[in-house]
Structure 1
Amino acid sequence: MWSNRPATGIPSWRTIVISLSALAAIVAVVVGVRTTSAAWNDQAHFAAPVTAGTWDTIRAADVMQPGNSNTQTGPGAWTVPAAPESSHEGCVQFNVTGTSATPEVWEVHADLTKPPFAGMSGSGGFYNPGPVQTTIGTLPGDSTTLVLRGVSNGGSTWNAEYNNKYLTSSQTINVKICSSSLPVPAQGNSNWTTIAVTHGTWTDTQACLVVTVTGTVTDTDANPFYFGWTYALDMTPAKQRITGAGKTVNYVGWVPSVGDGGNDWSIGLAPAHNNPVANTYTVTSKRTTAVRGTGTVTVTACVYGW
């Protein structure tokens, strides 16, 4: 794999491929070989291709942070699917610079309790889609803090691709990391959405309530991710429309269907039954009904009777 590079002795179990575009005129620095005794959990040792598709690119939020005093992180960009159902994949690309005139080990942490990683645990599914290497693991005893570090090939000459374990304040690398298994977007704050309920089809045998959820987040630089919502839908008006016409309420149908695409795909309902029709359903967004920015999604509940 490394036959066309001078670094041929890199232990494959310590490294994975990482995408890095070196800044112009990176200074080559001679450093001594040093080792670290820090323990690692859940190391990922694989590479995977980036899925093609339509993407929105925005500035990085505070999910990625320096992991030690030798590290500073600079401007970056998040890449998320243009539509929540188009991919389970997302990436972040950011600068890493040392803080000292002497070479020191750099380290970056990712908080897996924050979007878009909220709900993930461990380093499985994370990868780096380019030619430059790093390690990916988690803190000992903390599977929700992802840890990135550079690698050493045992040589003395710094190289941005395969001998980048140490950085000085005059060296900056641009690191990219992706996840191929982003979870269902976490619930957002209640003031991130407005929710309106209107009548759809409204007949003696079919009475539909249309729930329109609209995002209120105008700053997608500060909050670039999809977020979830929950709403308690009162079914009483629809049921009364059926019974008021002398009909018997039979069941309720949903668009999107609760089973569309799997349990994490469309919506969640509590209670889960459609017959008998409950007076109130708690509707929870899943992957395809999450909202980003000022986007809008609709969910329709139709009560049928005869």
Structure 2
Amino acid sequence: MLKNKKTLKRVTSAVYSVFRLALLIAIGYIVIYPVIYMVSSSVKTTAAFADPSVIYIPKHITFEYYATALKAIDYKNSLLSTLKFEILSAAIEILICSFIAYGLARFDFKGKKLLNFVLLLTILVPAQMIIVPIMTNYSHLDIFGILGFFNKLTGIDLRPNILGTVLTFYLPSIFGVGLRSGILIYIYIQFFSGLPKELEEAAWIDGAGLFRTFFSIAVPSSSVVYTTVTLFALIWHWNDYYLAVMYLSENFPLAVKIYDIDNLITAANIWGGGKAIAAKSAACFMFIAPMLAIYLILQRKFVQSIDRVGITG
């Protein structure tokens, strides 16, 4: 009887292992297949698209459609616009959100619950619901109504229109209300709350101020959470289409160009024989390649940070 139980346990364990492996392979295939198809299609010749025997690996490889896609989406200028508007904004957001989270995690003060509630609202309220007042404010930027009051007194309107400038991207990041800043702040808070206070107290005894303590104690101890936040912020800003198309009228980043890739390929007179598919695949791969490279570089730290920070779901 005992022998049968052991045999049944081994069989059950083996079946579970096979099922788990098969499930992981299936999920991996679902995730990786679009990338495989994209890369394969981008290097196929026109004849390969008409050859039913060619599925993933073409007999002859060509990179001519990468050159076509570069011109169609104006890759160089679009990449520069992405770096200028989105990536620098993400860098500001990463730093500012850590300041805010450190204060909320390590100090108790009046109004803290209210700030946490406002922080929650920044997560729950989508940008689409408040885009009209935001754009109205940006078209006549006025801090605390000072310039508007001056306009009423003198009739001179000094309120600048910052739509189409980098300020529309930088200002929200500077004030901690940038693209998904609320989520980033909560990730920081969860990590900073678990740091031992003894190190900070020792620094304060030695005469270190708040900023020195933050940069000498908190930041060096938080490389894993900075890795997580950096990846999330870069990917979210890199993929940002909505705010870019609302704030800008020219010099669009790559996300906007990729969204309009069908029209751009058509305008480039790329027709038939799989040419359009190859050009679109090449453009899409060039769009995701930088983020893939960054993820591969930071992969190990990112996995460690997920374990430390406790992000799930």
| Structure 2 length-normalised TM | 0.19
- Report which of the two has the higher share of helix: 2
Higher relative contact order by CA 8 Å / sep ≥ 6: 1 or 2? 2
- Report which of the two has the higher share of strand: 1
